[in-house]
């Protein structure tokens, strides 16, 4: 599945990342590359947790549908492709 992720540069602190389609799925890293790598791991783990709990796996939305949310203003958008669990 391909989940959109929004990253924000936190001045003097690195990058925070959020996967809007997955509740409680966020991470932090010192670099953009680090945040993307950590986000891929975080998404995979969140999907695994949902699967184990027997909860439905949220379908990813289109970036264009998420982009208008003011909470994500100024963010950098990326797509994280993870294999289904």
How much is the pTM?
0.89
Is pLDDT of 21 > 80? yes
pLDDT at 40: 96
Residue 22 is assigned to a structural domain of this protein: yes
The beta strand positions in the chain, using DSSP E, are 2-10, 14-18, 26-29, 76-81
- Write out the DSSP string of 55-74: PPPPPPPPHHHHTT-GGGTT
Q: How many domains does the chain have?
A: 1
In a domain, 1, yes or no: no
- Give the CATH number, domain containing residue 14: 3.30.160.250
54 inside domain: yes
Residue 51 CB neighbours (<10 A): 13
- Note whether residue 4 is domain-resident: no
pLDDT digits (tens, 9 = 90+) for 27-58: 999 999 999 999 999 999 999 999 999 999 99
Of the pLDDT bands very low, low, confident and very high (cuts 50, 70, 90), residue 11 is confident
């Amino acid at each position: 599945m391909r989940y959109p992720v929004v990253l924000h540069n936190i001045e003097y602190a690195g990058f925070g990342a959020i996967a809007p389609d997955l509740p409680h799925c966020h991470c932090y890293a010192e670099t953009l590359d680090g945040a993307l790598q950590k986000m891929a791991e975080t998404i995979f783990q969140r999907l695994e947790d949902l699967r184990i709990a027997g909860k439905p796996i949220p379908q990813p939305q289109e970036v264009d549908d998420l982009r208008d949310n003011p909470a994500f203003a100024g963010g950098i958008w990326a797509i994280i492709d993870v294999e289904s669990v």
